[in-house]
C-alpha cells in the first residue's frame, strides 16, 4: 500500500514531458499572439484612415466649378443647360455619409458632417431657385447661396482630407514608436521566458536523468558483484520508481538464491571432501596395514614402528579436530606423514622433498590440498615408470598469494590426456576426482582466480600448481568450507 500511495503522488514521464512542451509552447504562443494582435490593431486603424483618405480623394476637385457653371446655365436658361447638377451634389452627400461611418477623429467628423449638411442645404437652395420671380432674383440667389455653399463644401472636404492625412501621419509615427516599445517588451519577455523555460527544463531534466544515473550506477555495482538489496532510488517519475523498486526486489531475490546456491555448493564440497577422505582412507589403510604386517614378518621392528607412527599422524591430521581449513604447517605435516608411509611402501622406487618456508606456516589452506596432488604424482607418474621417481613439494611467497607446487619426474601425460585432465578440473567431469575436488573447493573458498594448474610432458614429468590467497589462520577465524 505504501508503494502504491507513493506512486500515486508521482507523475509519469510522458506527463512530465507534456508539461515541458506546454511550458514552452503556451508562453511562446501568448507572446506571438500579443505581437500579432498589436500589429493587427494598428494595421486596421491605418487601413481605415487610408481608405477614408483614398475615398475623400475621389471627391472632384472641380466640384465647385462644375456645379456653379451648371447652375449658371440653368438659371440663365442657356442652350448649354443640362438641368440642375443634382447628381453631383448627391454623390458628394453619399461620400460624406460613407466617410462619416468610418471616421473616428473629432475634427474630421466635424468637417465631414459639415460637408453632408451643406450638401443637403445646397439641394434645398437649388430647388428654391425654381421659385425665383425674375432673372435678376435667380442670379442673386445664385451668387448669395449656390456659390457660397459650393465654396464651403469644397473647403470642408479639403479640411477633412487635411485632418485625416495628419492623423494618418501621426498614427504612422505612433505605430513606429509603439512598435519599438512592443518589440523591446517582447524581447524582454522572450528573454525572461527563455530563462524560465531553461530553469524549468533543467529542473525537469534533472528529475528524470538523476534517478536514471543512480540506477545506472546501481547496475554497475551489481555487475561488480554487489548483490545486497539497497534502498530503491527515489524518483519523481512513476516508471523510474517502479523500475527501481522492482529492480531492488529482484536483486534481493537473486541474492537470496545466490546465498542458497553457495550454501548448497558448500554442502556439496563438504560431502565431496568426506567422500574423498572415505575413498582414500580404506584403500590407503589396507595397503599400509599390509606393509606393516610385511615389516613385522620381516622382523623390521623399527621400520614397522615408524610406519605405524606415520599412519597415526596421517589420520590425526586428516581429522584436524573437524576443521576443513588448517594451517600450512599442519598441511605440511600431513603430507610428510603420507610421503613417509609411501616411501616405506615403495622403498627405493621414489624419493621426496618438501620445502615450505617457516614464514608461511601460519597461513591457512584447505585441508587435503597437497595430499591428493602427491597421490596423483605417485599413482599416475612414479608407479608408471621403472626408474626411481622424485617428488618435490614447495611453497613460494608471492606477496598477497602463496604458490604451491607438486612436481614429479614420472611418466607424464600426452597432450590429449593433459587436455582431458584440464577440462575435467574446470568442468567437473568424473575423471580426476581428487584434483577436481581440490580445485573446486579452492575456487569456492577464494574465487575463480584461484585453483589448480597442470602442466605435463610425456616421459618428463608433471607439475601441479595450486595458488591460494595469503590469509593468516587463527582458531577463531578458520573458514569452514
Domain tally for the chain? 2
**The domain containing residue 205 runs over which residues?**
2-214
Q: Answer yes or no: do 16 and 165 share one domain.
A: yes
Question: Average pLDDT over the chain, rounded to whole?
Answer: 78
CATH number for position 325: 3.30.565.10
Q: For residues 423-440, give the mean pLDDT.
A: 74
* Final residue in a domain of this structure, among 214, 245, 270: 214
For residues 360 and 442, state if they share a domain: yes
Rounded Cα distance, 71 and 149, in Å: 12
Cα first-last separation, the chain: 42
What's the pLDDT at 27? 72
132: in domain: yes
Residues 17 and 111 grouped into a single domain? yes
More confident residue, 332 or 473: 332
pLDDT band at 3 (very low <50, low <70, confident <90, very high): very low
Average pLDDT on 217-223 reads 75
Q: 13 falls in which pLDDT band (50, 70, 90)?
A: low
Q: Which of 10-24, 128-142, 158-172 has the lowest mean pLDDT?
A: 10-24
What is the Cβ-side half-sphere exposure of residue 193, based on CA atoms within 13 angstroms? 18
**Apex 34 CA angle, 32 and 36, nearest 5:** 70
Q: Quick check: is 120 in a domain?
A: yes
Q: Are residues 119 and 198 in the same domain?
A: yes
Q: How large is the angle between the packed helices 106-129 and 86-102, nearest 10 degrees?
A: 160
Q: pLDDT at position 402, please?
A: 93
Please report whether residue 476 resides in a domain.
no
Pick the more confident residue, 171 or 467: 467
Split at pLDDT 50, 70, 90, the class of 480 is very low
pLDDT digits (tens, 9 = 90+) for 448-475: 888 899 999 988 899 999 999 998 876 4
Domain final residue pick, 197, 214, 231 = 214
Higher local confidence (pLDDT), 193 or 352:
352
The model's confidence at residue 319, banded by pLDDT at 50, 70 and 90, is low
Please check the confidence at residue 428 and state whether its pLDDT lies above 70.
no
Residue 220 lies in a domain: no
- State mean pLDDT over 178-182: 76
Cα 210 to Cα 4, 205, 222: the distances in Å are: 22, 8, 19
Classify residue 89 by its DSSP letter.
H
Q: What element of type H or E holds 261?
A: helix 238-297
Q: Domain check: are 359 and 460 in the same one?
A: yes
Residue pair 241/10 in contact by the 8 Å Cβ criterion: yes
Which of 8-12, 132-136, 269-273, 406-410 holds the top average pLDDT? 406-410
Say if CB 382 and CB 367 are below 8 A apart: no
Q: Which residue from 176, 199, 195 is spatially nearest to 187, judged by alpha carbons? A: 195
Q: Is the pLDDT of residue 48 over 50?
A: yes
Instruction: Give yes or no: residues 361 and 458 share one domain.
Output: yes
Euclidean distance between CA atoms 356 and 369, whole angstroms: 14
Quickly state the pLDDT bin for 218 (edges 50, 70, 90). confident
Helix (H) or strand (E) holding 229: none
Q: Is 355 helix (H, G, I), strand (E, B) or coil?
A: strand
Q: Report the C-alpha gap between 424 and 429 in whole angstroms.
A: 4
Give phi and psi for 253, each to the nearest 5.
Answer: -65, -40
Query: 33 with 167, same domain?
Result: yes
Q: Give SS3 for 39.
A: helix
Checking if the pLDDT of 481 tops 60, the result is no
**pLDDT at residue 406, rounded to an integer:** 94
Contact 106, 163 (CB under 8 A): no
Give 11's DSSP letter.
B
Name the residue among 382, 373, 328 with its Cα closest to residue 351: 382
Q: Tell me: do 295 and 208 sit in the same domain.
A: no
Indicate if the alpha-carbon torsion angle 56, 62, 64, 70 is positive or negative.
negative
Query: pLDDT, tens digit, for every residue of 97-137?
Result: 888 888 888 888 888 899 889 989 988 888 888 887 788 88
| pLDDT score recorded for residue 455 | 92
User: Whose grid coordinates read 580426476?
Assistant: 432
The answer to whether residue 374 sits within a structural domain is yes
pLDDT at 404: 94
Residue 252 domain-assigned (yes or no): no
Residue 226 lies in a domain: no
Query: Is residue 337 located within the same domain as residue 428?
Result: yes
409: Cβ contacts below 8 Å, ≥ 6 apart: 381, 389, 390, 460, 461
What pLDDT band is residue 393 in, cutting at 50, 70 and 90? Answer: very high
Q: How is residue 4 written as a grid cell?
A: 502504491
Which residues does 234 contact at the CB level (< 8 Å), separation at least 6? 211, 241
pLDDT of 205 strictly over 50: yes
Does position 95 have pLDDT exceeding 70, yes or no? yes
Query: What's the average model confidence in pLDDT over 182-192?
Result: 79
pLDDT at 213: 79
Does 132 lie in the same domain as 280? no
Q: Tell me: pLDDT of 21 over 50.
A: yes
Domain membership flag for residue 478: no
Same-domain pairing of 190 and 95: yes
Q: Is the pLDDT of residue 399 over 60?
A: yes
Which of 194, 214, 234 is where one domain is finished? 214
Which of 195, 184, 186, 232 has its CA nearest to residue 211?
Answer: 232
Write down the pLDDT at residue 280: 52
pLDDT at 217: 77
Residues 322 and 442 reside in one and the same domain:
yes
Per-residue pLDDT, 474: 63
Which is nearest to 378 in space by CA: 358, 407, 413, 414?
407
pLDDT band for position 322 (cuts 50, 70, 90): low
Amino acid at each position: 500500500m505504501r508503494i502504491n500511495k507513493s506512486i500515486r503522488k508521482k507523475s509519469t514521464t510522458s506527463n512530465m514531458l507534456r508539461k515541458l512542451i506546454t511550458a514552452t509552447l503556451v508562453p511562446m504562443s501568448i507572446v506571438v499572439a500579443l505581437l500579432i494582435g498589436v500589429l493587427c490593431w494598428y494595421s486596421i486603424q491605418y487601413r481605415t484612415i487610408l481608405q477614408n483618405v483614398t475615398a475623400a480623394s475621389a471627391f472632384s476637385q472641380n466640384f465647385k466649378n462644375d456645379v456653379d457653371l451648371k447652375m449658371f446655365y440653368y438659371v440663365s436658361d442657356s442652350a448649354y443647360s443640362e438641368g440642375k447638377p443634382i447628381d453631383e451634389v448627391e454623390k458628394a452627400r453619399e461620400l460624406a455619409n460613407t466617410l462619416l461611418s468610418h471616421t473616428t477623429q473629432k475634427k474630421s467628423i466635424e468637417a465631414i458632417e459639415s460637408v453632408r449638411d451643406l450638401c443637403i442645404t445646397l439641394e434645398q437652395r437649388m430647388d428654391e431657385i425654381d421659385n425665383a420671380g425674375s432673372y435678376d432674383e435667380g442670379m442673386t440667389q445664385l451668387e448669395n447661396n449656390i456659390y457660397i455653399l459650393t465654396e464651403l463644401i469644397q473647403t470642408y472636404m479639403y479640411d477633412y482630407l487635411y485632418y485625416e492625412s495628419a492623423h494618418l501621419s501621426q498614427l504612422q509615427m505612433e505605430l513606429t514608436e509603439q512598435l519599438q516599445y512592443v518589440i523591446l517588451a517582447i524581447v524582454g519577455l522572450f528573454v525572461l521566458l527563455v530563462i524560465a523555460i531553461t530553469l524549468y527544463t533543467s529542473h525537469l531534466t534533472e528529475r528524470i536523468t538523476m534517478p536514471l544515473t543512480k540506477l545506472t550506477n546501481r547496475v554497475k555495482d551489481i555487475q561488480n558483484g554487489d548483490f545486497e538489496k539497497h534502498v530503491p532510488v527515489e524518483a519523481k517519475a512513476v516508471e523510474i520508481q517502479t523500475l527501481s523498486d522492482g529492480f531492488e526486489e529482484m536483486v534481493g531475490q537473486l541474492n537470496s538464491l545466490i546465498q542458497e546456491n553457495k550454501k548448497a555448493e558448500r554442502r556439496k564440497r563438504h560431502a565431496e571432501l568426506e567422500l574423498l577422505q572415505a575413498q582414500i582412507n580404506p584403500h590407503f589403510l589396507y595397503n599400509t596395514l599390509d606393509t606393516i604386517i610385511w615389516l613385522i614378518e620381516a622382523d623390521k621392528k623399527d621400520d614397522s614402528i615408524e610406519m605405524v607412527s606415520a599412519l597415526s599422524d596421517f589420520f590425526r591430521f586428516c581429522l584436524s579436530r573437524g576443521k576443513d581449513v588448517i594451517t600450512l604447517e599442519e598441511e605440511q605435516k600431513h603430507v610428510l606423514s603420507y610421503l613417509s608411509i609411501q616411501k616405506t611402501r615403495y622403498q627405493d622406487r621414489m624419493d621426496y622433498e618438501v620445502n615450505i618456508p617457516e614464514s608461511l606456516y601460519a597461513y591457512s589452506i584447505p585441508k587435503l590440498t597437497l595430499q591428493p596432488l602427491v597421490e596423483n604424482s605417485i599413482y599416475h607418474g612414479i608407479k608408471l615408470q621403472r626408474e626411481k621417481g622424485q617428488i618435490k613439494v614447495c611453497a613460494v611467497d608471492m606477496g598477497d598469494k602463496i604458490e604451491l607446487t607438486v612436481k614429479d619426474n614420472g611418466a607424464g601425460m600426452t597432450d590429449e590426456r593433459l587436455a582431458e585432465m584440464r577440462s575435467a578440473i574446470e568442468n567437473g567431469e568424473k575423471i580426476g576426482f581428487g584434483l577436481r575436488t581440490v580445485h573446486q573447493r579452492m575456487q569456492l573458498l577464494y574465487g575463480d582466480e584461484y585453483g589448480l594448474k597442470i602442466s605435463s610432458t610425456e616421459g618428463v614429468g608433471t607439475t601441479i600448481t595450486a595458488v591460494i590467497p595469503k590469509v593468516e589462520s587463527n582458531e577463531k577465524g578458520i573458514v569452514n568450507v
